[in-house]
Amino acid sequence: MKLTPLSAWPALLLLAACAGTPPPPDWKLNAHGLLQAYAKHYLDGHTRQAERQFERARAEIARTGRPDWVARAELTRCAVRLAALEIGPCRGYEALAQHAGAAERAYARFIAGEWQGLDADLLPSHYRGLIAARDDAARLRRLEEIEDPLARAIAAGALLRAGAASPEVIAVATRTTSDQGWRRALLAWLGVQAARAEAAGDAQALALIRQRMGLVQESLPRER
């Protein structure tokens, strides 16, 4: 099964649309939908709803008794958090890492920003060019070529963790999360821009960024 940033099983969903192919089991369909819902709620700032969706998705996958598949789900959760710059150890994956395959281990290193010696061929295709890029211009170009907004935001987060996020990369991530209306993620990236503007003594840019952050914060949902 090919690993992607949003779900570990997109190819299995496609099977249902192929003539003559039996539909995938309910747990696969359920898990995919729940992981999609997790990403949406988390990036939008609905923390409790997001975590409920993830726990349900994990339970669906756990029905199989496959720790390697559960490890993929945990990587998905950590990747979504990275898009919102929730940076830290991927505890759920680490508890199952001994069961992970080469692709999972490579993806875990990618989102951790540990790119030295990383085999890019083990990553989803849209990330491979980033590993090969050797300067800011090339990294920016590869980032902009990623069509999926979530994959692009995750890649920007990985670049930041790897210490290779230029101001232009941060601008792409901010624009991506703004276009999608992902409030949690947008606030995180605006926060990075604000810190840089403050460090540079750019009061005008800082005021504009803070105004944007204020607008987003006004729209944040109240947790229930």
Cα(214)–Cα(206) distance, integer angstroms: 12
So what's the pLDDT on residue 220? 81
So what's the pLDDT on residue 6? 47
So what's the pLDDT on residue 25? 87
Q: Scanning the structure block, which residue is given the tokens 């995750």? A: 154
Query: Apex CA 71: angle with CA 9 and CA 184, to 5°?
Result: 80
pLDDT in tens, 48-71: 999 999 999 999 999 999 999 999
Residues with Cβ < 8 Å from 156, sequence gap 6 or more?
83, 143, 165, 169, 170, 172, 173, 176, 189
Cα(73)–Cα(3) distance, integer angstroms: 10
Nearest 5°: phi and psi at 44?
A: -90, -5
Q: Scanning the structure block, which residue is given the tokens 């105004």? A: 211
Model confidence, pTM: 0.89
Question: Mean pLDDT for each 10-residue chunk of the chain (224 residues)?
Answer: 39 38 82 92 94 96 93 94 94 94 93 94 92 94 95 96 96 98 97 97 97 93 62
Closest to 198 measured CA to CA, from 210, 186, 189, 182 = 210
Both structure tokens of 28: 């696969």
Distance of CA 144 to the CA centre of its chain: 16
Domain ranges of the chain: 10-219
Contact 35, 55 (CB under 8 A): no
So what's the pLDDT on residue 122? 92
Contact 52, 35 (CB under 8 A): no
Both structure tokens of 48: 């409790």
Contact 43, 83 (CB under 8 A): yes
